[in-house]
Amino acid sequence: MRKVWIKWLLLSSVAAAVLAGVAHAASMLGPKRQAELVYLVRQDCGSCHGMTLKGGLGGPLLPEALAGADSESIASIILHGVPGKPMPPWTGQLTREEAVWIAGKLKQGFPR
């Protein structure tokens, strides 16, 4: 009984450490990388979604349009794309932390 409890405690602290690591990594995006990501979203995502992100061939990426989706699922679309649609997977060019950061910023209203 006690063993199980210790195991659970160990596991959860590992999980907490992993979570903390992720959060840490996200906040570790330096200002230079953040500026690069803003530029990428405005200029390159902008070629389909519009530079003001109100949509084009791809849908709008404004806070109202994304209100129903959480950052994790948006990040997952960024990383894996939408099969059968033009949205490509950005894995390889963006890390998970970067995708989550972009998703969060999109939901808040993306910086200029």
Q: Which is nearer to other proteins, 21 or 88 (CB)?
A: 88
Choose the binding region for other proteins from 2-10, 68-76, 84-92, 94-102 (rule: CB under 8 A).
84-92
Residues 41-70 that bind other proteins (CB under 8 A): 42-44, 46-48, 50-52, 54-57
Contacts for 92-96 with beta carbons within 8 Å, 24 or more apart?
Answer: 94/37, 95/25, 96/22
Q: How far apart are CA 31 and CA 88, in angstroms?
A: 26
Q: How far is the CB of 37 from other proteins (least distance, A)?
A: 14
**Torsion over CA: 63, 65, 71, 75 (sign):** negative
For residue 98, the number of C-alpha atoms closer than 13 Å in the C-beta half-sphere is: 19
User: CB-wise, 31 or 92, nearer to other proteins?
Assistant: 92
Least spacing, CB of residue 66 vs other proteins, in Å: 17
DSSP category for residue 53: S
Q: Which residues bind other proteins (CB under 8 A)?
A: 42-44, 46-48, 50-52, 54-57, 81, 84-86, 88-89, 93
